[in-house]
A and B are shown apart, each in its own frame.
Chain A
Amino acid sequence: GENVEQHPSTLSVQEGDSAVIKCTYSDSASNYFPWYKQELGKRPQLIIDIRSNVGEKKDQRIAVTLNKTAKHFSLHITETQPEDSAVYFCAAKGYNDMRFGAGTRLTVKP
């Protein structure tokens, strides 16, 4: 099955700076890569996803890039704001499963 590693486990940035979270996956057949945001005490919610037929996708301050050759994908948040503080999970869909990374706790300092 799929195996997903996520780094870093914690990330602290100043408001206005950029934040990057990276994930690697093991199954070369993986073709769907979602990112979920979980604010403190709340449920995880999808913020962006990418399929293997594209290399990059943007939605306002959030972007995801995918490198299929290297089997890694990254979440980029620009102009970070305090409300971006949360735990972020990446995931990868393998042949018959979907695995989540361990999560990154992002703290944006005002």
Chain B
Amino acid sequence: DVKVTQSSRYLVKRTGEKVFLECVQDMDHENMFWYRQDPGLGLRLIYFSYDVKMKEKGDIPEGYSVSREKKERFSLILESASTNQTSMYLCASSLARWGAEQYFGPGTRLTVT
């Protein structure tokens, strides 16, 4: 049974803080993704990684960076949090880059005040 876990379910940060969101998967998947989920906008891809130390920008990478130092762990970094980054963040992993099931984590609801 695939398990994708995220470091926090809820997080409250102040404007300007550096924020780290971590995601860990236990299925040896090469592909990992970070999405942002907002009402009426669905799931929007921030970044994805297809191998250790490899990353590619998604649709909305501005204000975010990522790190993949180990295969099982994919981190999302908000260098200087802003109020418009208040959102639900979902991590996912998959066997294939695009044409296979994505297994999602439980999500982190981030509030930036």
Contact = CB atoms under 8 A, between A and B. Distances in A.
Interface of A: 1, 6, 9, 31-32, 34, 36, 42-46, 49, 89, 93-94, 96-98, 100-103
Interface of B: 4, 40-45, 58-59, 90, 98-102, 104-107
DSSP class of B's interface residues: helix, strand, loop or mixed? loop
A43 B101 contact: no
Given A97-B45, A100-B42, A43 B98 contact: no
A97 B45 CA distance: 9
Contacts of A49: 101
A98 B98 contact: yes
Nearest to B43: A100
Contact of A102 (B41, B90, B106): B41
Contact of A44 (B41, B44, B45, B90): B90
B41 A43 contact: no
A97 B100 CA distance: 12
Contact of A103 (B42, B59, B102, B107): B42
Q: Which of B43, B59, B90, B99 has the most CB of A within 10 A?
A: B43
Contacts of B101: 34, 46, 49
B42 A32 contact: no
B42 A89 contact: yes
Q: Which of A31, A43, A45, A103 has the most CB of B within 10 A?
A: A43
B79 to A, nearest CB: 24
